[in-house]
Amino acid sequence: MTLGALEREVMRVCWDERHPVTVRRVLSRLNLDRAQPLAYTTAMTVMARLAEKGVLSRARQGRGYVYAPTVLDEAALAVREVLRTHGDAAVAHFAAEAALDPGLRERLRRLLDERS
C-alpha cells in the first residue's frame, strides 16, 4: 500500500504522539508549518481513509473518534504490505536474510507477532 504525501504526514504525527489522537490534535500539528492551513474536514477524511485501509485504528470518544497507528512505523507498514502481497515467500526470504543480523531477526519476529 502506497501512502500519499498527506497520508504520510498524518501518520508521522500519529507515530510521534505515541498515544491515540483526535483529528483536531493532528490538524494542529499539521498546520504548524503550513502557509495554507488544512481544513478540519480534510484531516478528518484522510484519517478516516487511513482507518479504512487498516493503517489507523479508530475508537469512539465522546462525539468524535481517537485514532492510533496499527503499525510501529513506516518501515513496518512496508513490511506488512510485502507480507500481504507475497505471503510465505516473503517471510522465507526475510528469515534467510535475518539469519545474518540478530537485530533484524528480532525486528522481524516483533513484526510477525504484531501481524497476528
Q: Please give the model's pTM, rounded to 2 decimal places.
A: 0.69
How big is the CA angle at 18 (ends 31 and 40), to the nearest 5 degrees? 30
Per-residue pLDDT at 44: 97
What is the distance of C-alpha 21 from the center of its chain?
13
Per-residue pLDDT at 75: 65
Residues 44/23, Cβ–Cβ less than 8 Å: yes
Per-residue pLDDT at 17: 93
pLDDT band at residue 18 using 50, 70 and 90 as cut-offs: confident
Q: Cell match 504520510: residue?
A: 8
Per-residue pLDDT at 46: 97
Per-residue pLDDT at 9: 93
**CB contact set of 17 (below 8 Å; sequence gap of 6+):** 25
Element (H, E) at 109: helix 102-115
> Which of 51, 43, 44 minimizes the C-alpha distance to 70?
51
pLDDT at 82 over 90: no
Average pLDDT rounded to a whole number, residues 72-93 = 68
